[in-house]
Structure 1
Amino acid sequence: MKLVSAFSGVALTVGFTLLGQAFAVEPIPVEAFAKPAEFERLRLSPDGTMVSAVLPGYRDGRIVILRLPKLEPVGAIKFDGELRIGQYWWANDQTLVAETGYQYGPLPRCV
């Protein structure tokens, strides 16, 4: 019995070592963690073929819709003036619903 347990422990160690080498990747540079986000508040469509995201850094609200897996842009929504995007969600595979509001002062959310 001791021989079987020792053998299985060695086999697991060798298996995990080979698995780690098969999936070895380049280390991520530290600068990548300090880079500003390209997208915020991502939402996956119900069928999983598209993703929507808010584009940060614009005074007006902007949502972009991307087709997976290549992240090809297929649509965008832009709110003019002082409107900001509140909550938004997928109503079905083809329809986004968004709440809009105005931001007064340094509040982190729309009212």
Structure 2
Amino acid sequence: MKKKNFVCIECPRGCALTVTVGDGISVEGNFCPKGKAYAEAEVTCPRRIVTSSVRGEYGMISVKTDRPVKKTKIFVIMRQIRAAKLFTNVAIGDIIIENADGEGANVIATRPYANIPRED
């Protein structure tokens, strides 16, 4: 049996969870069902929102994935983000990279970008 400890991030309470993985998954320390679901997901298929920046012709634009992606896909997505460059205006929520993880997660803009030179 393998034990892992987590701090639940599903609510402000921040429960200290102990997960035991053996024949099944046992979760202790959660005060609500969200903690149990979080711990089970964290040991079976951990996921994260990826945040980064994409180069634009005249500056950088902040981006993120529109849903959590498998941790194993983060480097695949980051390679695509590093290779991307914007040459057009974008609004918040516009898709910058479609289906970045191969499972439907898009990389979207988190702020507007105007493709015009800045005056310093």
Which TM-score bucket, shorter chain as reference? Answer: under 0.3
TM-score (norm 1): 0.26
